Amino acid sequence: MASKRLIDLFLELARIDALPGKEAPVANRAFSFLKNLGLPVQLDGSAAAALSNTSNVVCDVGGGGDFVLVAHMDTLHFTSTVPQLVTAEKIAFGGRGPLGMDGRAGMAAILYALERAVHSGLPLKPFTIAFTTRGKGNMAGVKHLALPPRIRSAFVFGSELSPGAYAASSPGIALFSADILGRTSDAVNDPESGISAITIAAKAIAALSLGRHDPETTSNIGTITGGSGTASVPLAALVRGQVSVSEADKALPVLDRIKTEFQKSAAAAGGAVSFKWFWDFQPYLHPPGSEVCLLAEQALRAAGLTPADLPSPGGSEANALNARGLAAVSFGIGACCPRPNDEHILLDHLSKASDIVTQLIKS
């Protein structure tokens, strides 16, 4: 069962509004919390690069050590007026859709474990804490997180997996866009002179095989926009989509096929297309027995949990950190939203998440 202090800390953090890019209020609270513990907390100067109103909060404990604990500070929606229902088993949030409280639960688990350790005089390893901006946006905060070369491992707290599970692998998402140019004309009096950008897009999409390509590779067209009115042959159209892969090398063949169909359709109609793509976040995979996995499993066992290496259900700060060359995994803390209006966290899971932190940081 979670302690009253841990519950109260989580509820306090959960009440602070901090949308992606507007995390200053929760950053200020975390900063003062760590400062009151007598720890050397600072802002890393990433605000401008991450397009946030605050920088990442970074705290070097005992000199900083060679690993970092990470949780993001933002939520998907405003949270200050959302009803908080605490029962004997869980904390729920008013049935108003997914709020993205996973980061706040991770923050609470880290801060509570550290506070308890400091007040009890528990000997600690040197380590670093990083509370980051834009975790629910483009993860710009962790992408611009200033970390010294001595940091070798990262442990992210915020996965919806249950405690005991950790993500040693995660899919990646490549986002693409096809910007199509046709030729406009009067659709009533001179349709023959026009080249419909929407028709180019439609024929390209019709020629594609989208959906599941193999058990771990999918593609999707998500949005189509174009045209200026029903009386004009549409000059331009914009198609956006994504490719999800478990290995980075699998993305390019799928993207090439998509690009080729748009180019063929545009050329056949006499139009043009600009095709672009980029990684929203890259996939990662740590093999069993790797150092970061061994450290994660050691902490889980010490916390009385049975380690389970499961794929991440989505992207996290761990993806961005691994893309930077830092070995990172994400711990399950049980921040659940099985239905859109039923976001909650079990009190036992919140307590176990804090226990995992304690086992990571104690010497």
210-220 pLDDT, tens digit per residue, is: 999 999 999 99
pLDDT at 292 over 90: yes
pLDDT band (50, 70, 90) for residue 363: very high
φ and ψ at residue 215, rounded to 5 degrees = -55, -20
CA 41 – CA 50 distance, rounded (Å): 19
Select the highest-mean-pLDDT range: 87-96, 163-172, 312-321: 163-172
Q: Which structural domains are found in the chain, ordered by start?
A: 4-170+283-361 (3.40.630.10), 172-281 (3.30.70.360)
| More confidently predicted of 333 and 31 | 31
CA 102 – CA 336 distance, rounded (Å): 8
88 CB burial (10 A radius; 0-12, 13-18, 19+): exposed
pLDDT band (50, 70, 90) for residue 340: low
Q: Is 42 helix (H, G, I), strand (E, B) or coil?
A: strand
Buried b (16+ CB within 10 A) or exposed e, 320-356: bbbbeebbbbbbbbbbbbeeeeebbbbbebbbbbbbb
- The pLDDT value recorded for residue 171 is 94
pLDDT at 337 over 70: no
Q: Which residue has the tokens 């599970």?
A: 165
Beta-carbon contacts of 76 under 8 Å, excluding residues fewer than 6 positions away, are 19, 20, 98, 99, 100, 136
Q: Is 83 helix (H, G, I), strand (E, B) or coil?
A: coil
CA 127 – CA 141 distance, rounded (Å): 19
Closest CA to 78 of 7, 20, 6: 20
- The pLDDT value recorded for residue 95 is 61
The CA angle 76-77-78, to the nearest 5 degrees, is 140
Structure tokens given for 65 = 């050590």
pLDDT band (50, 70, 90) for residue 160: confident
Q: Are 141 and 50 within 8 A, CB to CB?
A: yes
Residue-wise DSSP of 43-65: E-S-HHHHT-SSPPEEEEETT-T
Closest CA to 317 of 288, 344, 281: 281
| More confidently predicted of 278 and 341 | 278
Give me the helix-helix angle, 24-36 and 4-14, nearest 10°: 150
Q: Are 297 and 290 within 8 A, CB to CB?
A: no
H or E stretch covering 258: helix 251-269
pLDDT at 339 over 80: no
172 CB burial (10 A radius; 0-12, 13-18, 19+): buried
pLDDT band (50, 70, 90) for residue 341: low
CA 311 – CA 75 distance, rounded (Å): 23
